[in-house]
Amino acid sequence: VPARRFGVILVEPLPVVRAGLARLLADQRELAVLADVGTADDALQAIELHRAEQVVVLVGLNLDGDDSYWLIRTIRERFPTFTILACGAHAEAISISRALFMGADGFVDKNLEAAEFVSSVRNALAGEMVLAGPPKESIRAIAEGIEHRREAETRLTRREREVLNVAAEGLTAREIAQRLGVRERTVTTHLGRIYGKLGVGSRVAAIRAATDSGLVSLGARE
């Protein structure tokens, strides 16, 4: 009986790295590289073509701006059955925890030996939570980062997060009100509650705290 083949979509902005990873994964009998792309938008187009297949998406954490995290969350929401692996080179614990919070099923370091990298992909496809590469002392920081984001998200209502996302674009309270179709006073009330919940005293501090928690992305995409 032939081994079951799984599809791989590789999202990596550096062409040489992308080519090397694509060749490594294509050499595995049970893996088929369906697409290797360099941007989040190209990734979504590729995913749409293969949405009916069993797929693992490898997302580099070095996409432009916050595109890596936006892409991970978008894939998780639109294609919940897909396996998502974040990839980075010596990524910081805060970056890894943010990727996991957004919906990644694991993280694999691009500095691993080839055999260990492939093994990590296989383990993720088998349903395992993969953390391959981070030093053991950073695992606790990764877990704490995820918990911190969950706590921050539960403290803010959906409308408060919406107000904060728009505020991160640099709009005034009046402009935020116009964007959301509410009164300016309502916006200032929301901002006051946000400050209290996040334990800050200004909009800049609130945006910084929410950005650090992964609730808001500066220049966030729709």
SS (H, E, C) the chain: CCCCCEEEEEECCCHHHHHHHHHHHHCCCCEEEEEEECCHHHHHHHHHHCCCCCEEEEEECCCCCCHHHHHHHHHHHHCCCCEEEEEECCCCHHHHHHHHHHCCCEEEECCCCHHHHHHHHHHHHCCCCEEECCCHHHHHHHHHHHHHHHHHHHHCCHHHHHHHHHHCCCCCHHHHHHHHCCCHHHHHHHHHHHHHHHCCCCHHHHHHHHHHCCCCCCCCCC
What is the tens place of the pLDDT at every residue in 194-209? 887 777 777 888 887 7
Whether the full predicted model's pTM is greater than 0.75, yes or no, is no
Q: What is the pLDDT of residue 135?
A: 65
Q: What is the pLDDT of residue 213?
A: 64
Low-confidence ranges of the chain (pLDDT < 50): 1-2, 219-220, 222
d(CA 200, CA 73): 27
Q: What is the pLDDT of residue 3?
A: 54
Q: What is the pLDDT of residue 108?
A: 94
Beta bridge pairs of residue 36: 10
Mean pLDDT score of the chain, rounded to an integer? 84
